[in-house]
Structure 1
Amino acid sequence: MFDPGEVRDILISAARQRKTLTYSELLGILGHVFTRPLMRQLCKVLDHIDEDGRALGEPGLAVLVVRQSDGLPGQGWFVARTPIHDDLPLEWVGPEARRYTEARQAQAHDYWMAA
């Protein structure tokens, strides 16, 4: 349903503008209204984009997609990172999660600003 190349291009553009997008905003850009089933499909594409980027030595882009309520990625983003990152915060909300997320967002912003 979602073209990974199109989603990746949108996220690279956001990174270069030092922006984040809410799940709803990204779905809107892709021509959809927010629904939980569409969000779950989008999250699978985001995971795939990050896996491919990791293989190329790129920082993750999915971290740029956040919940409107608190500006953090969804729980699934943290869970997907668990097998390969041992520096994850213990909680998926709160100050520690925010610091971790903002550091990963800065990596994406810096990388794509320089690319």
Structure 2
Amino acid sequence: MDKSLAEFLDESGLSQPGDTSALYDVERIRALLLEAAKRGEAVSYSEMLGKLGFRFTRPKMRTLCRTLDAIDETARANGEPELAVLVVRESDRLPGQGWWTGRTDYRGEWTGREALRHVEKLQQQAFDYWQRRRA
């Protein structure tokens, strides 16, 4: 199937970027993650980008991931559980490679049953923590 030139340029990151400020909006993205944690749900990268007004593209996903890293850095400093673990791939419900790199709490493969158990454990910690803090 042929892609339009606009789709190719958008997916490759070569198109005019437009207003991508929502991808850097730590407060807004954190609020979306807190809503998901309070519901006890993970969200896909595509769903998160959609909530920010974008369709999925790899460049936008990578920008979102940098913001997720900043959110988790602040969470760790505040003694809160990670939230980036709630953003997962649709295919296997696991975070992407960037989330796994540099981790010190897990040494296995980044895919498969063991990885999913680890992710679900961290997700449950976020769910439990934020569900106790409901207003």
TM-score under structure 2 length normalisation = 0.80
Match of 2:66 among 35, 38, 44: 44
Unaligned 5+ segments in structure 2 are 1-20
Q: Within the alignment, does 1:18 sit opposite 2:40 as a pair?
A: yes
Equivalent runs, 1:1-115 vs 2, <5 Å: 1=21, 2=23, 3-80=25-102, 82=103, 85=104, 87-115=105-133
Determine if contact 1:16/1:109 at 8 Å carries over to the other structure. Answer: yes
SS at structure 2 position matched to 1:33: coil
Larger radius of gyration: 2
Provide the C-alpha distance between the structure 2 equivalents of 1:12 and 1:24, rounded to a whole number of angstroms.
17
TM-score under structure 1 length normalisation = 0.94
Cα offset, 1:89, TM superposition = 3.6
Provide the C-alpha distance between the structure 2 equivalents of 1:4 and 1:64, rounded to a whole number of angstroms.
15
**Runs ≥4 residues deviating over 2 A:** none
Bigger relative CO (Cα 8 Å, ≥ 6 apart): 1
> Which residue identity lines up with residue 14 of structure 1 in the other structure?
A
Q: 1:96 to 1:89 in 2, by over 3 A?
A: farther
Unaligned 5+ segments in structure 1 are none
Aligned-residue CA RMSD (Å): 0.8
Provide the C-alpha distance between the structure 2 equivalents of 1:75 and 1:106, rounded to a whole number of angstroms.
20
